[in-house]
Chain A
């Protein structure tokens, strides 16, 4: 009965979401406080209804109820508990239910925390968020219901893809969904503002925390996914420019642009219509990401044709929200006024440069990702657009953006002073030039690696110099406000990431060796000995484990074989410190050898690879600190407003 109850709750939440939509929009139109309160109440209750539906799905996975189609197709009794729970969202249907739950939760949060927004803007935004949630629920209920039964129920399940049975992959999808769906709140606020016909600094102030939530969770989600690929896929890479990765990266880039343009709109009133447009496009890219990942179109446009219903439905959603948003924008945006001016050298100009960089970078990734699909659809010609294309185009674009990055904080709003900025930033320029010379002359790196390292140093040192300038003296740095640390952490993170990426990509080393137990190889100045190979039994897999000794330290690498799905995976051995990772993957035993089989062992040296993940982590930390700052400001404003209003 529980699956049926879940289906019923989902149907109930569909009705409630559209009721919330109607009430919220009507409340804004009629300026009716009663309707607004009702919309907020429905939004809050709907989050609870969907939470209950989701809990039911989790319980079905926990009990491994094979009569439920999605459980039978994705789970197995022998699977460890964590992956039974994570299996709930490790498939299409369950992940769509999670999408709905997150959307309804954001609607409830928006309903509960109006901040300093105008009442009509707030109720309209709650209404639009209701429509967004309702459309997603309709798709889930009618085209991918997780509560569908199988009759007769199979005796056993197909298990979760073993590559996904990993702690990182239990967290990665919910984080990405928080980010994707998080972008629906800026979208709702943008639509509400267009309906309202007014965009002011209070609107931009309301937009910022929601954008930041989406950006932080996307940063964490993408980083965890990248780290997972690094240690799980067994060849030492961390980013592949795979369409699925690009699908999550595009909304991230758009959110990064939106974060910065919203600051200009809040503080100076400028870029208002561009900020609106970015908010619409950000959510559009999140929906496009969902479409790309979920429609099957990525394997081939022909795979899409096999079962096109879901794909068409998501495309229709995309057309409805983005097309509708753009139409509304074209109709209402010209009425938005752009009050204040600024000079060419100013903080505003620097942030415009930031947005040019992010927008062009997003467009480049979008074209590179969709081009093969479009070419195949139009001409039938099959091509690949892989890492070389993105490295050649995206790399220089980011370098340009990052050259502008550290300058912005040194310029004042409206009228900046470039000479004063250079007085500080020259030190960062010298450090960057010095590192470039070291890279080329001493390390004999390629030209582009010198550029990448120099840009990273320029950003990192520039961010630290700004801390020094703001503090006035070294001793007072600790007393700087939190808002300042949020920005510095994020910007320094960008620098740390860039240095790590440039070094890792140009100085990585790899070798493969055939080894018998007891043999040794020398690799990047270390002696690596294969001590023993043994067979070990895991809860739902059998593994061959290689024990290595690296200069006296132990390291193990495994090849696992999951018996239910019949899939092999690699568990690499990593010996890492701040200078890089020694990374060992165990391959297959060599075929056709006489006597004891030699094992193929692949050895990698990935220098500064931790800087990549640490840099991304610093960016996320900066965003999280920014959230604390915005929350504090909002609370202070509410308190101030209460004190000011006559009792």
Chain B
């Protein structure tokens, strides 16, 4: 039986893996956040396009050169535009995006709190002895 002659376990053809498993894990996390520029809404981690393979190789090159994750993201954004970052950078144009979920939550919590306060006032007379509301009106 042929012993596995192919144990150069690489991500795809042509792209060498990063030097250490930790670096490779970092590279894969970054691959999932960088958008392939020739595909329709796919990160380079998923794409089979050769362009994506080149971009994956570039991620590993930057890691080997000692860049931090933030530096690598900035490197890609400078080269291909902010469009390639699936995790949009916080900037003048995107603070509203990143702030929106929290703002919505605060707003909704505030509205709910005021509703609950009104309801609790209306229901102030409900004591422990109040007749319980049945679980279902006509079960079975």
Contacts and interface: CB of A to CB of B under 8 A. Distances in A.
Interface in B117-140: 119-126, 128, 130, 132-133, 136-140
Interface of A: 233, 235, 237, 240, 242-243, 267-268, 270, 299, 340-344, 348-349, 352-353, 355-356, 359-360, 363-364, 367-368, 371, 375, 379, 381-389, 392-394, 397, 412-415, 481-484, 511-516, 518-522, 587-588, 590-591, 598, 600, 602, 633, 636
B64 interface: no
Interface in B1-16: 1-2, 4-13
B86 interface: yes
Contact of B83 (A268, A355, A382, A482): A382
A384 B84 contact: yes
Contacts of B100: 363-364, 367
B122 A397 contact: no
B136 A483 contact: yes
Contacts of B12: 512, 587, 600, 602
A514 B6 contact: yes
Closest 9 CB pairs of A and B: A386-B86, A341-B123, A341-B122, A388-B87, A413-B133, A481-B139, A393-B101, A382-B83, A364-B101
B130 A415 contact: yes
Given A242-B41, A381-B82, A341 B121 contact: yes
A513 B17 CA distance: 12
A587 B48 CA distance: 8
Nearest to A370: B97
Nearest to A600: B13
Interface string B80-107: 0111111110000110111011001100
A341 B115 CA distance: 10
A409 B54 CA distance: 53
A600 B48 CA distance: 11
Contact of A520 (B4, B43, B109, B128): B4
B104 A360 contact: yes
A398 B67 CA distance: 34
Contact of B109 (A356, A522, A600): A356
B32 A387 contact: yes
B87 A360 contact: no
Nearest to A347: B133
Contacts of B51: none
A384 B116 contact: no
A397 B7 CA distance: 43
B85 A383 contact: yes
9 contacts: A340-B123, A367-B100, A368-B97, A379-B93, A383-B85, A389-B87, A519-B5, A587-B48, A590-B13
A385 B122 contact: no
Given A385-B88, A519-B6, A342 B105 contact: no
Contacts, number: 176
Contacts of B8: 514
Contact of B123 (A343, A393, A519): A343
A483 B139 contact: yes
B112 interface: yes
Nearest to A601: B6
A283 to B, nearest CB: 21
Given A394-B101, A483-B136, 13 more contacts: A235-B45, A342-B119, A344-B116, A352-B116, A359-B108, A360-B105, A367-B100, A375-B93, A383-B94, A389-B87, A414-B133, A482-B140, A598-B6
B120 A386 contact: no
Given A344-B120, A384-B84, A519-B4, A512 B9 contact: yes
A388 B33 contact: yes
Nearest to A353: B112
B88 A383 contact: yes
Contact of B6 (A233, A413, A516): A516
Nearest to B89: A383
Contact of A381 (B93, B109, B130): B93
A384 B126 contact: no
B83 A384 contact: yes
A389 B88 contact: yes
B68 interface: no
Contacts of B140: 481-482
Contacts of A352: 112, 115-116
B35 interface: yes
B11 A389 contact: no
Contacts of A514: 6, 8, 10, 13
Residue of A237, A243, A343, A482 with most partner-chain B CB within 10 A: A343
A388 B43 CA distance: 11
B86 A348 contact: no
Given A352-B116, A512-B10, A341 B126 contact: yes
